[in-house]
Amino acid sequence: MPNFEVQRCNEADMPRFFEILSLAFANDHEYVDSAGSERTLQLFHGDLYVNFLKVIDKDTGKMIAAAKWNLYEGGGVPPQPKLDGNYWENKEEKEFTQYMFHAFFASRQVEIEESGACLAALDMLMVDPAWQKQGAGRMLINVMGLIFQAVVEGSDRGRRLYATEGFDSPHYVCPVPEKFTTRRKQTYWWMKRPIQSKNSLNSMSDWIEPRCCNQR
């Protein structure tokens, strides 16, 4: 039986975090191709809503899976994040990637606003391909989000796993301007899960400190 443990990520984990992210998603999302460990490290230090978690194989000490949960615990609706930097070959590539990034997270922003910024968003979940289907991803899904309404933009590959953990799944196709209609379309399963348990607070105390949303 796997000997796995969920832990918080630290700064030294960010290169491995992005390595796993690239292995899992670099062929699916243009903004992942363009980002890099530098942007991941900026998020680690600069985003107040972010919780970076990892799964460690305790027998080897190896980081085998990771997740980025965004927790919105009231106190005002944050603006939708923007993608910027100098990661692209030309202006057109940057424009396309920025547009797709905005369109990809548009549904989440609406949900944040409608919930009064009381929401758990599973922003990233990835497992090293060499360690998949051993339960690490499921651990990261349920270590957070049980006492909050939760959302995730699920891939075709992740949809079945999320569905088994209580998420529903209408399909969503990101709109693109006419100038980009010949490019690959970005799609995902827009999945939501209601609050699962108001009694899970103590088991989550290592990961979050809920401050509002009537969950104290």
For residue 210, give the amino acid letter. P
Only one residue has tokens 């944040």, namely: 112
Quote the longest CA-to-CA distance of the chain.
Answer: 52
Q: In terms of Cα–Cα distance, which of 66, 61, 50 is closest to 17?
A: 66
Whole-structure pTM over 0.85, yes or no? no
Burial of 45 (0-12, 13-18, 19+ CB in 10 A): exposed
Domain boundaries, the chain: 4-204
Number of alpha helices (DSSP H) and beta strands (DSSP E) in the chain: 7, 7
Residue 177 tokens read as 């301007």
Return per-residue pLDDT of the chain as tens, 216 residues: 789 999 999 999 988 998 898 888 755 544 444 446 667 777 777 778 889 999 999 999 999 999 999 998 877 888 888 877 777 778 988 888 888 888 888 999 999 999 999 899 998 899 999 999 999 999 999 887 567 889 999 988 889 999 999 998 788 888 888 888 888 778 889 999 988 765 544 444 455 544 445 443
Q: In terms of Cα–Cα distance, which of 47, 33, 66 is closest to 140?
A: 66
State the pLDDT at residue 34. 46
Looking at residue 58, the DSSP 8-state letter turns out to be T
CATH number of 4-204: 3.40.630.30
